[in-house]
Structure 1
Amino acid sequence: MDPGDVEYEPISVKAVLAEMKDTAELLIDLSYSAVLHGSDEVAAEVLELEERMDVLQMQARMSLLMAARSPEDAEALAPVLGVVGAAEKISDAAGDIAKIVLEDIGIPEAMRTAIPEAVETVVRAQVASDSDYRDVSLGDCNLETETGVRVIAIRRAGEWIVNPDRTTTFEADDVALLRGTETALSTVYEAVTGDAYDPPEPVDSSIDDLDRAVDSIVLMKNMSELAVDLAYGAVLFDSEGVAEEVVELEAEVDALKSRFEAWVLRAAPRVEDPITLRGLVHLASATEVISDAALEISEGVLRGLDTHPVVAAAVEESDEVIVRLTVAAGSQLADASLGELEVKTATGMRVIAVRRGDGDWVVSPGPETAVRDGDVLIAKGTRAGAGRLADLAGADDPIDA
């Protein structure tokens, strides 16, 4: 749809913001997966979603302009416009990443085996007419619990379902976007499509500087995604401490990009065809834009402006929720590491930050990170997963103040 066709109509700003958040996060996953698989089909889905995001941002801006009737309204709504603009920037950056594939800009083969180490893979799977999953709901097949694969979106007859729930049913010819590990995806992809899953083959690079450049991009991607998660968390919880972590991450991404550029220039004389490095340069630039957008999301919190209730509500009600909870003394999590209890596997929640009792932050904690009673966890995942994590932490409310 052309954004020029959009006309003003009364809509729920909260619903639009929630869909923009879900769509922006989905676009990040899809765009990198398109690069990983060299998939024109997945890249095309990115551009379809980018067009949808253009419509959403236009609707959001019109509604916000209609709502501002005084200087006080303008002050309250300014951070909301920042969130809208940031989501649009993420969308545009994802589109630029997809064009690396669609326009054959070129990227070293080694890149395609570096990304799986950093993220779960997203694949596009069209439901076959004879699939075992046809006419089965997500709740009935219990897909995520049984296989570890999550359906993050479905496109049906040109329309997107960006937050499928347990009542959503697979239909023949649906395009399902599946996220999970390569091993788990292999079985599910074949059951959904009837075709074998063909993951990328490992490729070794003999150029150290190129390897360092690829490693830098993988780290930039991880940090940018974490920055986006934390930025929404800062908005939801009106936390200046979390917002300051976004500032640090954005600065680190900038520094990584500078080092990346140096390594690419050093590697270029030893690459058979230096033109293949253009895609890496595009990828790094787009990734930096994503981290910049995260900073824009949290800017209102950093400047001391109160989070508008509609933004907090939209983040809370989006597809993947961000929760904060306090670890209770005597709970299973107290004095255990995230890895010991296999928190991500057991709950489906990814702990993205831990605030210690003394106020210090542990950003992007790993399996070895120990959790103590009184620690505040910020985690991302499904609502059901939030409940499971709350049980482990002995918290009464998974969104604990």
Structure 2
Amino acid sequence: MDPFEGEISPGSIEYEPVSVKDVLVEMKDTAELLIDLSFSAILHQHHDLAREVLRLEERMDLLELRARMSLLMAARNPDDAERLAPVLGIVAATDQISDAAGDIAKILVEDAGLPDAMRTTLPEAIESLERTDVTETSTYAGRTLVDIDLESETGVRVITLRRGDEWILDPGPETVIEAGDVAFLRGTETDLGPVVETLTGEAYELPEPEPPAIADLERAIDTIVLMKDLSELAVDLAYSSVLFDSQDLAEEVRNLEIEVDALQSRFSAWALKAASEADDPVRIRGLMILASATEEISDAAIDISEGIFRQLDVHPVVQLAVQESDEIITRITVDPDSDLVGVEIVDGRLATDAGMSAIAIRRPDDGWLLIADDDAQLRAGDVLIAKGTRNAEESVQSLSQA
């Protein structure tokens, strides 16, 4: 029996005038959420979260159809077709991300096989996602997020709400949490426990899996986690390359895709070695599916940037869809004699007056270093991926040059 029989129906769709920008914004936000949910479901072996991914994947299919219909209606002449072709590519790539996330979720839903020790490789402080139902007796029900002040009080953020078939992808301060909502929370497992208990009225228990008994299996899982992080970064940079019409950022998307391909090859070697030692090698099958789907996400990032690679004009609707913002993502190369050599990165922020946050460093000899909230020190030759205001970006660029 299909595990979703009676829960999810394909639905029908007819053309209706809609804003292409709004559809693309929702597709972008949905794709990013799907990556988050699918990997969190796998890394924490969360079956309910995997089911939500398949719900959201179906919604993405409808969004893709709406976007294609609207774009076809918008093309009136060859010039329109040329400018809209990359937009169709972005739509297809976003749907490809959705399909890959669905494949990841099905590893759990269809019990394709995963090592029981999957969670033990994750650092204790890593943030995770939790899906929880809001009960009528919850003290949070009927209150706005600003009233609850959840993040300040607990360190946990409500990143999405599902209210029946409606998804609230980016809940704001005035969003009300209602009884019957399905809330998606982000935080460390230690912080999540009390919040989940307040929402559901039930005890929150953490599983205690056994650590990996096979060294090659642990290496394979570590490699998968790194592939996941680099693929997420590639998607983020791909959308930013379109927003800022940046060849530099698009080139880093290509570099990330190459690195993910290399990691997949390395992963395959570890996984095959682990299978030869495992009592139940079938349990490793899910890891192989996970690696393939993760590589597809990095491939999709390349497709999002295709218009930039081909130096096609960015259609205004795409720039609007990835949301104009004072905050930008930039690539900065550290010259050997520049003032950035030796600059500390503390809690993910550059120790300069510019006030930019570091996302990642591509180091000539060591590959990619993902910063997050970690500390690091810039070296000559580093390629820094950073986020901040345009004024801050100009200040850091000036420091990077000899």
TM-score scaled by length of structure 2: 0.83
Alignment match of 1:323 (pick from 320, 324, 328): 328
Shift of 1:3: 6.0
Q: How many residues in Structure 1 have an aligned counterpart in Structure 2?
A: 369
Alignment match of 1:112 (pick from 119, 128, 152): 119
Which ranges of structure 1 fall in alignment gaps of 5 or more residues? 328-332, 344-348, 356-360, 380-388, 397-401
Deviations 1:330-356, CA, capped at 9 Å, x for gaps = xxx99963325868xxxxx9642579x
Which amino acid counterpart does residue 295 of structure 2 have in structure 1?
Answer: E
Counterpart CA distance in 1 for 2:10 and 2:71 is: 17
Shift of 1:273: 0.5
User: What residue number does 1:52 align with?
Assistant: 59
User: What residue number does 1:277 align with?
Assistant: 284
Which amino acid counterpart does residue 119 of structure 2 have in structure 1?
Answer: R
Task: For residue 176 of structure 2, give the secondary structure of its aligned residue in structure 1.
Answer: coil
Q: Percent same amino acid among aligned pairs?
A: 57
Relative to structure 1, the CA distance from residue 171 to residue 188 in structure 2 (aligned partners, 3 Å threshold; closer, same or farther) is same
Relative to structure 1, the CA distance from residue 394 to residue 208 in structure 2 (aligned partners, 3 Å threshold; closer, same or farther) is closer
Shift of 1:258: 0.9
Counterpart CA distance in 2 for 1:391 and 1:72 is: 32
Q: Mapping of 1:76-225 within 5 angstroms?
A: 76-115=83-122, 120-225=127-232
Relative to structure 1, the CA distance from residue 395 to residue 171 in structure 2 (aligned partners, 3 Å threshold; closer, same or farther) is farther
Counterpart CA distance in 2 for 1:281 and 1:390 is: 40
Counterpart CA distance in 2 for 1:41 and 1:240 is: 40
Relative to structure 1, the CA distance from residue 168 to residue 273 in structure 2 (aligned partners, 3 Å threshold; closer, same or farther) is same
Bigger drift between 191-200 and 125-134 goes to 191-200
Alignment match of 2:297 (pick from 280, 290, 295): 290
Counterpart CA distance in 2 for 1:14 and 1:84 is: 12
Shift of 1:48: 0.6
Q: Does 1:228 align with 2:230?
A: no
Q: Mapping of 1:255-266 within 5 angstroms?
A: 255-266=262-273
Contact 2:161 2:184 in 1 (8 A): yes
Counterpart CA distance in 2 for 1:233 and 1:225 is: 13
Contact 1:324 1:376 in 2 (8 A): no
Bigger drift between 93-102 and 142-151 goes to 142-151
Relative to structure 1, the CA distance from residue 205 to residue 354 in structure 2 (aligned partners, 3 Å threshold; closer, same or farther) is closer
Which amino acid counterpart does residue 328 of structure 2 have in structure 1?
Answer: V
User: What residue number does 1:383 align with?
Assistant: none
Counterpart CA distance in 1 for 2:171 and 2:258 is: 35
Which amino acid counterpart does residue 311 of structure 1 have in structure 2?
Answer: V
Task: For residue 338 of structure 1, give the secondary structure of its aligned residue in structure 2.
Answer: strand
Shift of 1:223: 0.6
User: What residue number does 2:4 align with?
Assistant: none
Relative to structure 1, the CA distance from residue 141 to residue 231 in structure 2 (aligned partners, 3 Å threshold; closer, same or farther) is same
Which amino acid counterpart does residue 359 of structure 2 have in structure 1?
Answer: I
Contact 1:86 1:294 in 2 (8 A): yes
TM-score scaled by length of structure 1: 0.83
Which amino acid counterpart does residue 67 of structure 2 have in structure 1?
Answer: A
Task: For residue 10 of structure 1, give the secondary structure of its aligned residue in structure 2.
Answer: coil
Contact 2:158 2:185 in 1 (8 A): yes
Contact 2:327 2:389 in 1 (8 A): no
Bigger drift between 144-153 and 301-310 goes to 144-153
CA RMSD of aligned residues (A): 3.2
User: What residue number does 2:335 align with?
Assistant: none
Task: For residue 160 of structure 2, give the secondary structure of its aligned residue in structure 1.
Answer: strand
User: What residue number does 2:70 align with?
Assistant: 63
Deviations 1:206-254, CA, capped at 9 Å, x for gaps = 2111111111101100110010011111111111001100101101111
Relative to structure 1, the CA distance from residue 32 to residue 325 in structure 2 (aligned partners, 3 Å threshold; closer, same or farther) is closer
Shift of 1:363: 6.8
Counterpart CA distance in 2 for 1:265 and 1:48 is: 33
Deviations 1:260-295, CA, capped at 9 Å, x for gaps = 111111111210001001110011011011110111
Alignment match of 1:241 (pick from 245, 248, 261): 248
Which amino acid counterpart does residue 323 of structure 1 have in structure 2?
Answer: I
